[in-house]
Structure 1
């Protein structure tokens, strides 16, 4: 009798590390690739890599409403989210960006409160207020010492908030679509839609690839293979075997992991006040998890992808 070993925890740890590393990789090539071209390059690599996992067949492709949902989250999550995130990291360090984007689950919870009639419990409202206070604090932060990166840009913070909102809409659209297809297939299709949306950036990508160093090009390949293809695959594996809440609580390690990786590779640490604001974002998100909503909110409990 074949025993199906549950490797959910190792899979989630892989997801946390590779998603956290995406913030660092984006920061590393921010001066070489523009936000749109970097998104296109990453998604093209992701589509190629995921093809070997998903092994797409015409008979397995969704139609009707599920297909419309795929197009929606492909445009919003894989396209707009990544462009906003890439643009934000031109002004913010990797750790601070990861912290702010982690308010995405709160946005998803608010939207779900309207769409799925789940209401607005007190922990949600309190946590959301604390998280937004943290965002404001980061926006007002200034460079406090020689080891910190430049003061947080208001534009960068706003772009992070936009990325978090795009994530929320994308996650809410993907969740019902998963009822009609395998998780890896849903990721492959989302990447494919993202590639189509970002095709206008192809000339810029080709030009920037011609001027990029081999190290920068390898960073783009890394983003496509690891955070996109492998990260989403391991997340999907775990999500099939444990509750979304347990999976999401593990991925809240991503911001702290991104900060440590950024410190080690890029030698950058958030300014002191920005770090406090980021911690407030995490505390706010954690408070929203103190009490269950009347109905399960799977999409709102996921953490942001990179």
Structure 2
């Protein structure tokens, strides 16, 4: 059995940090995505994340999986999560506006909630499912309010593929965390994802020389914070919480993105999108608040 966290609220504070970093990533991708192709941006992002995590390797914080099967599983998870998912999502946003892409990807928390209840024995809480559905209805309103109306069949397929990769990666990580600590899993996974993106090196060399410095620094930020730091925190939180419950907290991301866009970019969301943001916050809070309060009461 893994040791309990030093304070029961720490996993949820870690999750909140992850949601804020993931929300900020949508703003950065909006700018940097104009200068990089999907594969090149994924390679620069993952290379930056790998560099940020290398000190953990040199400090002896990374422990090797105990068997060849575990090695293969962790490497496969890393390629799926840190290479395939990122490239597919970047590609989806070439054919869809950001709001529609975000809606499709955020099918993943609902898939995780159902699958973790049925397959991982976490149970199907009516409150959790109700909160997820309310939050997802808010995402639909954000999409309707903020979408440009552009819809591509290929874009929809890529968006759904990204959601499946997201959900499958979360479920696989929850299973593997019983055998590999979260720090080691994150570092090995990120390095695996970076290596899997190496075929995009020629495109990155061409594009990085033409991209403005701000776009390059933006992708480096994506690697160091929403990837390296955020996934360290995510792995820690997932070690101490249920996969379905934690994934439902990611439904806060679209609402947080609207707030950050208003604060940092001065963007005022359309009224329907603002209502959707409120529903996202309400639904996600309804789903996870009891678990957070129970953790605080245990302390």
Shift of 1:84: 2.2
The equivalent residue for 1:161 is: 160
Shift of 1:217: 0.6
The equivalent residue for 1:229 is: 228
In structure 2, distance between residues paired with 1:120 and 1:253: 20
User: What secondary structure does 1:60 align onto?
Assistant: coil
**Native 8 Å contact 2:113 2:247 kept in 1:** no
**Native 8 Å contact 1:136 1:277 kept in 2:** yes
Structure 2 residue 84 is the aligned partner of structure 1 residue 85 = no
Shift of 1:36: 1.2
The equivalent residue for 1:35 is: 38
User: What secondary structure does 1:200 align onto?
Assistant: helix
Unaligned runs of at least 5 residues, structure 2? 292-299
1:250 to 1:106, Cα distance in 2 relative to 1, 3 A: closer
1:198 to 1:80, Cα distance in 2 relative to 1, 3 A: same
1:267 to 1:101, Cα distance in 2 relative to 1, 3 A: farther
User: What secondary structure does 1:222 align onto?
Assistant: helix
User: 10, 14, 18: which one pairs with 2:17?
Assistant: 14
1:188 to 1:127, Cα distance in 2 relative to 1, 3 A: same
Deviation readout 1:115-164 (Å, 9 max, x if unpaired): 5577877778878887887787777x48xxxxx56225345454333222
1:149 to 1:28, Cα distance in 2 relative to 1, 3 A: farther
**Native 8 Å contact 2:21 2:230 kept in 1:** yes
1:126 to 1:19, Cα distance in 2 relative to 1, 3 A: closer
In structure 1, distance between residues paired with 2:256 and 2:137: 23
**Native 8 Å contact 1:54 1:184 kept in 2:** no
**Native 8 Å contact 2:23 2:253 kept in 1:** yes
1:219 to 1:184, Cα distance in 2 relative to 1, 3 A: same
Structure 2 residue 107 is the aligned partner of structure 1 residue 103 = yes
The equivalent residue for 1:218 is: 217
The alignment's TM-score, normalised by the length of structure 1, stands at 0.73
Shift of 1:86: 1.6
Moved more, 183-192 or 228-237: 228-237
The equivalent residue for 1:68 is: 72
Deviation readout 1:53-92 (Å, 9 max, x if unpaired): 3447698211322222212221221112111222233432
Deviation readout 1:204-233 (Å, 9 max, x if unpaired): 111110111110110011001111111122
In structure 2, distance between residues paired with 1:58 and 1:227: 21
Q: Which has the higher helix share?
A: 2
In structure 1, distance between residues paired with 2:272 and 2:156: 14
**Native 8 Å contact 2:142 2:274 kept in 1:** yes
The alignment's TM-score, normalised by the length of structure 2, stands at 0.74
Deviation readout 1:10-30 (Å, 9 max, x if unpaired): 433322211111121111111
Deviation readout 1:145-187 (Å, 9 max, x if unpaired): xxx5622534545433322211111111112222222212111
Structure 2 residue 194 is the aligned partner of structure 1 residue 195 = yes
Name the count of aligned residue pairs.
281
